[in-house]
């Protein structure tokens, strides 16, 4: 048992949640793209995580975009990494065995340029018993083909979901883009395609200009905007989506503190992911879990469902 | 699995012991961090975290000095934006969030009695002090060629560490060489058994060119805009030439923060 799980037991608080049939010891997970087992694990015990949501993996290696890929903005940041990853084979060989030593669930984020590429990556990892769920990234703003193109069109979103569902032996969660007028439309399309859960939000499209260099700060010009500045947008979208679909929602977007996590749970999320906060504080995800626990103790919530039911929004 | 590790890195609130201007827009800051001072290797950096909520990214700053005896780390940084502006206002006794030393630093030459050439450009001079001290312990004689646009800094500290120091500036001065560090090395015919460089990329490329002509190589410390600064986000990458297991050359995108910041000049794709 981890340090914080021990503490929760002492407090008589049950932090566990269910996410599409997958039991998580607690609702605090990482967010894809901001977690890497060996690197993040230098700063905290990975077994504290509800789930380790790993970085987007594609069927073949991707080199990502040119640098600069990172820009800081007011209360947030932009990235245009472009899903650089060593491919499903290397993920299976290097990342999974390492990660599986820890007592946490593994959710593997899948990237692709086409339906066939998403399916191919899923096929390559389908028989890995370590993986509890696939998260399909149809919302990356940093790739030219695929990515967000699937996440902003309900017809495409439903099609990619149903094709992946046909072959996946594990629950499938669709990661949604906030770069749409009505996110519930895409969430409903994913549900109609057979999604077991949805996760949101991915980054918002943004831009930064370097006044000294007189050019766009990012080599790709635009990038994905994340961090505390986007939290109200994310929270609103999680709340809307949780009401629009009957499948569970993994909520994320600018969560920096335990009370932020509580807000997302109150808005209808079944669990939450911590992304950009891990850049401001490498052990943020564990701190947030600890703060959520203290918040629950102070407010007399014995379980996550008690917390959720205490709110009338 | 055998490589499972307990968390060995951390971020601490370190007490600022001093934080003083040493040249125009350049600040030298010393903090108390005994554990980190013990672990630090020349060429590594620490993430320094601004306190302001609106600034969410760490500032990776190379370690200028680490003293095990006093348990202190010293950083030399340029005030270039809101984060370093905030650091510049810290007073002794206040605290600053500092990460464990990160990245792969300079590899130390195995023999003793060798001659090393240390080349620093601007704030890139900072890691050369820690390096010079460590090389001296190994009985390696150092020549430091340091280049600045205007006001030089760290010359006295490098001399105190036993290095021969040659300083270049872009402004005419009777005390300094006028021109680039590579001009200076060429004219003074500076050579050694090993080379170490840190500074702006064009300077590093020119230094590599200089040593390559002599059939030698140089360890270069690269700079790139970083996100997390510890290898999780893959924001800072550079193209590195590597050989696969069959000896075929291939280009890999490596993380500057984790696989570097120090690479061999011959590995870097300069263009």
* Euclidean distance between CA atoms B212 and B206, whole angstroms: 10
- Assess if residue B6 is contained within a domain: no
pLDDT tens for each residue of A181-221: 999 999 999 999 999 999 999 999 999 999 999 999 999 99
No. of H helices and E strands in chain A?
A: 13, 16
Domain extent at residue A296:
3-309
- Across the range B85-101, mean pLDDT stands at 98
- Assess if residue B245 is contained within a domain: yes
- Total count of domains within chain A: 1
Q: Is A140 a catalytic residue?
A: yes
Where does residue B2 rank: exposed (0-12), middle (13-18), buried (19+ CB within 10 A)?
exposed
Rounded to a whole number of angstroms, the distance between the first and last alpha carbons of chain A is 35
Nearest by CB to A279, from B9, B57, B258: name it. B57
Residue B71 shares a structural domain with residue B146: no
- Across the range B9-20, mean pLDDT stands at 97
SS3 label, residue A122: helix
- Assess if residue B2 is contained within a domain: no
Residue B255: which of B2, B60, B37, B35 has the closest Cα?
B60
Residue in B with minimal Cα distance to A63: B253
- Assess if residue B5 is contained within a domain: no
- Assess if residue B3 is contained within a domain: no
Residue B152 shares a structural domain with residue B204: yes
Residue B164 shares a structural domain with residue B83: no
Residue B69 shares a structural domain with residue B20: yes
Residue B203 shares a structural domain with residue B110: yes
Domain extent at residue B268:
223-271
The CATH number assigned to the domain holding B83 equals: 2.40.30.10
- Assess if residue B152 is contained within a domain: yes
The predicted structure's pLDDT at residue B5: 62
Across the interface, whether the CB atoms of A69 and B227 are under 8 A apart is answered yes
Choose the catalytic residue: A29, A119, A128, A140.
A140
The predicted structure's pLDDT at residue B112: 72
Q: Is the preceding omega at residue A201 within 30 degrees of 0, hence cis?
A: yes
Across the interface, whether the CB atoms of A34 and B7 are under 8 A apart is answered no
Residue in A with minimal Cα distance to B251: A63
* Euclidean distance between CA atoms A63 and A129, whole angstroms: 28
A:B CB pairs within 8 Å: 114
The CATH number assigned to the domain holding B230 equals: 2.10.240.10
Residue B50 shares a structural domain with residue B68: yes
| Chain B 20-79, residues with CB within 8 Å of chain A CB atoms | 49, 53-58
Residue B114 shares a structural domain with residue B201: yes
Per-residue pLDDT at B3 exceeds 80 = no
* Euclidean distance between CA atoms A5 and B206, whole angstroms: 55
pLDDT tens for each residue of B35-76: 999 999 999 999 999 999 999 999 999 999 999 999 999 999
Nearest by CB to A67, from B54, B236, B258: name it. B236
- Assess if residue B39 is contained within a domain: yes
The predicted structure's pLDDT at residue B2: 45
Residue B157 shares a structural domain with residue B213: yes
Chain B partners within 8 Å of A84 (Cβ): 234, 237, 253
- Assess if residue B87 is contained within a domain: yes
SS (H, E, C) chain B: CCCCCCCCCCEEEEEEEEEEEEECCEEEEEEECHHHHHHCCCCCEEEEECCCCCCCCCEEEEEEEEECCCCEEEEEEECCCHHHHHHHCCCCCCEEEEECCECECCCCCCCCCCEEEEEEEHHHHHHHHHHHHHHHHCCCEEEEEEEECCCCCCHHHHHHCCCEEEEEECCCCCCCEECCHHHHHHHCCCCCCEEEEECCHHHHHHHHHHHHHCCCCCEEECCCCCCCCCCCCCCCEEEEEEECCCCCEEEEEEECCCCCEEEECCCECCC
Residue B167 shares a structural domain with residue B204: yes
The CATH number assigned to the domain holding A32 equals: 3.20.20.70
Residue B271 shares a structural domain with residue B236: yes
- Total count of domains within chain B: 3
Residue B144 shares a structural domain with residue B55: no
pLDDT tens for each residue of B118-151: 999 999 999 999 999 999 999 999 999 999 998 9
Asked if the C-beta of B9 comes within 8 angstroms of chain A's C-beta atoms, the answer is yes
Q: Which of A139-148, A277-286, B39-48 has the lowest mean pLDDT?
A: A139-148
Asked if the C-beta of B222 comes within 8 angstroms of chain A's C-beta atoms, the answer is no
Cβ proximity of A78 and B231 under 8 Å: no
The predicted structure's pLDDT at residue A224: 96
Domain-ending residue, one of B54, B74, B99: B99
Query: Residues of B229-244 as b/e, b for ≥16 C-beta within 10 angstroms?
Result: bbbbbbbbbbbbeeee
Cβ proximity of B163 and B144 under 8 Å: yes
| Chain B 123-152, residues with CB within 8 Å of chain A CB atoms | none
């Amino acid at each position: 048992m981890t340090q914080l799980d021990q503490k929760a037991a002492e407090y008589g608080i049950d932090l566990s949640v269910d996410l599409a049939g997958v039991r998580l010891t607690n609702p605090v997970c990482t967010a894809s793209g901001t977690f890497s087992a060996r690197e993040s694990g230098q700063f905290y015990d990975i077994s504290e995580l509800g789930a380790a949501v790993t970085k987007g993996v594609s069927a073949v290696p991707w080199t990502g975009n040119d640098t600069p890929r990172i820009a800081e903005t007011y209360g947030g940041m932009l990235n245009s990494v472009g899903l650089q990853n060593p491919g499903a084979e290397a993920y299976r060989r290097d990342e999974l065995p390492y990660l599986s030593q820890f007592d946490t669930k593994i959710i593997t984020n899948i990237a692709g340029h086409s339906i066939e590429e998403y399916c191919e990556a899923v096929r390559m990892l389908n028989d890995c018993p370590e993986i509890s769920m696939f998260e399909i990234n149809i919302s990356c703003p940093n790739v030219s083909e695929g990515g967000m193109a699937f996440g902003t069109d309900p017809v495409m979103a439903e099609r990619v979901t149903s094709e992946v569902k046909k072959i996946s032996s594990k629950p499938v969660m669709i990661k949604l883009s906030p770069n749409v007028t009505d996110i519930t439309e895409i969430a409903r399309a994913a549900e109609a395609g057979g999604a077991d859960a949805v996760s949101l939000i991915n980054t918002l499209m943004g831009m930064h200009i370097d006044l000294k260099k007189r050019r766009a700060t990012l080599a790709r010009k635009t990038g994905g905007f994340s961090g505390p500045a986007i939290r109200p947008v994310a929270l609103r979208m999680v709340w809307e989506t949780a009401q629009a679909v009957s499948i569970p929602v993994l909520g994320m977007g600018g969560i920096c503190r335990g009370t932020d996590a509580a807000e997302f749970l109150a808005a209808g999320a079944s669990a939450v992911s911590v992304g950009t906060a891990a850049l401001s504080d490498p052990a943020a995800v564990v701190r947030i879990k600890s703060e959520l626990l203290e918040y629950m103790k102070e407010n007399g919530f014995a379980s996550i469902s008690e917390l959720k039911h205490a709110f009338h929004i | 699995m055998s490589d499972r590790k307990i968390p060995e890195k951390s971020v601490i609130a370190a007490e600022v012991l001093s934080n003083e201007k040493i040249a125009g827009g350049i600040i030298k800051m010393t903090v108390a961090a005994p554990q980190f001072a013990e672990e630090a290797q020349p060429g590594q950096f620490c993430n320094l975290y601004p306190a302001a909520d609106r600034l969410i990214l760490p500032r990776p700053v190379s370690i200028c000095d680490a003293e095990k005896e006093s348990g202190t780390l010293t950083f030399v940084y340029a005030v270039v934006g809101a984060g370093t502006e905030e650091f510049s206002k810290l007073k002794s006794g206040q605290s600053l969030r500092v990460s464990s030393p990160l990245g792969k630093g300079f590899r130390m030459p195995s023999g003793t009695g060798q001659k090393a050439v240390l080349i620093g450009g601007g704030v890139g001079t900072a890691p050369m002090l820690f390096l010079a001290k460590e090389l001296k312990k190994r009985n390696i004689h150092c020549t430091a060629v340091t280049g600045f646009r205007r006001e030089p800094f760290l010359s006295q500290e490098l001399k105190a560490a036993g290095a021969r120091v040659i300083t270049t500036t872009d402004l005419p001065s009777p005390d300094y060489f006028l021109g680039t560090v590579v001009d200076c090395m060429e004219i003074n015919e500076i050579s050694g058994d090993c080379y170490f460089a840190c500074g702006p990329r064009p300077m590093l490329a020119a230094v590599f060119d200089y040593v390559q002509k002599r059939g030698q190589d140089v360890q270069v410390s690269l700079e790139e805009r970083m996100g997390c600064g510890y290898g999780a986000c893959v924001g800072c990458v550079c193209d590195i030439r590597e050989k696969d297991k069959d000896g075929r050359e291939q280009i890999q995108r490596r993380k500057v923060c984790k696989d570097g910041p120090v690479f061999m000049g011959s590995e870097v794709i300069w263009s």
